[in-house]
A = this chain, B = another copy of it.
């Protein structure tokens, strides 16, 4: 089977793909005819495709985010590669194909990522802090198994959010050893809580964010997490004015560092300063790694990366 990122103009091919997007459209002729405007996907990338002469049955058979077997031909249209589909059918059980094979995903199994996060949570020595973290994780535990960390910015794939947390926890562990003045309980809690409300801020399926939720737009994940900590403190019987509640809310509220990046307050505790920079370090390096991974080895330069001052990254030959 041909991976999408290996297709070249004039290739004829057969394979299994996911219909990442599918819309019924009409040609400009008289009378206009229906056709499918499709975005095909697999684990290696995605590509626009057309399926002409759509029948009434077709329109009831094919849906976005479902798997199909297709026969097609690649060609160039307006300087971009495109696929003309000549045959298409839904995947059936006999094909033995799993949906998750066709999407980009963190390089570690979600179940292992969540296991690592829970281990970190359980290693928090202070029971009040552990209780708040546990309450908040409980709200999104199921979604942690598949949510991305962002729509496009970084870790934008299946279980990307949990992967981001796990790598940050590793860096946090190292820094607490290197600099004993940092409080490991607070830093772990901050890492786990900082993006904990993202699964409620975004609407996502299979690692692909389709939109932000109304809550996400009107409140934002930073204030949502702050509110969750208030709720957690009430539910676990903690004083809302206590230094612990305040320290955790401060970690979450300040982790974007500047007002123009969404933080209503700036980092003013040691752990809050650490959290912001661990977050930036992990996110930026993952952007670079992912961009290099998904750019053909023959290309010297990745595409422009918005989160890196919109610069491309050069693949050194050293």
Q: Which residues of A contact B (CB under 8 A)?
A: 9, 23, 25-26, 28, 30, 32, 37, 75-79, 84, 126, 167, 170-171, 174-175, 178-179, 181-183, 185-186, 214-215, 217-220, 222-223, 226-227, 229-231, 234, 240-241, 243-244, 246-247, 249-250, 253-254, 257-271, 273-274, 277-278, 280-281, 284-285, 288-289, 292, 300, 308-309, 311-314, 316-318
Given A76-B25, A219-B265, A223-B226, CB of A270 within 8 Å of CB of B292:
yes
Q: With A and B bound together, what is the CA distance between A175 and B277 in angstroms?
A: 14
A249 touches B267 (CB 8 A): no
Closest B residue by C-beta to A214 = B314
Q: Which 3 A-B pairs have the closest CB atoms?
A: A218-B250, A277-B281, A259-B259
Closest B residue by C-beta to A23 = B79
The copy count of this chain in the complex is: 6
Given A240-B227, A259-B261, A311-B268, CB of A181 within 8 Å of CB of B219:
no
Across the interface, which residues of B come within 8 angstroms of A280, CB to CB?
277, 280
Q: With A and B bound together, what is the CA distance between A196 and B79 in angstroms?
A: 35
Closest B residue by C-beta to A283 = B277
A183 touches B316 (CB 8 A): yes
B247 touches A318 (CB 8 A): yes
Across the interface, which residues of B come within 8 angstroms of A171, CB to CB?
174-175, 178
Chain B nearest CB, measured from A264 CB (Å)? 5
A26 touches B76 (CB 8 A): yes
B250 touches A240 (CB 8 A): no
- 13 A-B pairs within 8 Å (CB atoms) are namely A25-B78, A170-B178, A175-B281, A218-B269, A219-B226, A227-B240, A243-B318, A244-B318, A258-B259, A262-B264, A277-B277, A277-B285, A281-B281
Beyond contacts A25-B79, A269-B316, A270-B289: 20 other A-B pairs, Cβ-Cβ < 8 A, are A26-B77, A170-B178, A186-B316, A214-B246, A217-B312, A218-B269, A219-B249, A222-B264, A223-B226, A223-B249, A227-B227, A231-B240, A244-B318, A258-B260, A259-B260, A259-B261, A266-B311, A268-B313, A270-B316, A277-B285
Residue among A78, A215, A318 with the highest chain B CB neighbour number at 10 A: A318
Across the interface, which residues of B come within 8 angstroms of A126, CB to CB?
318
| A270 CB contact (under 8 Å) in B175, B217, B241, B313 | B313
Chain B nearest CB, measured from A210 CB (Å)? 14
B317 touches A243 (CB 8 A): yes
Chain B nearest CB, measured from A52 CB (Å)? 8
A312 touches B268 (CB 8 A): yes
Closest B residue by C-beta to A261 = B259
A289 touches B76 (CB 8 A): no
Across the interface, which residues of B come within 8 angstroms of A226, CB to CB?
219, 223, 226-227
Residue among A230, A289, A300, A311 with the highest chain B CB neighbour number at 10 A: A230
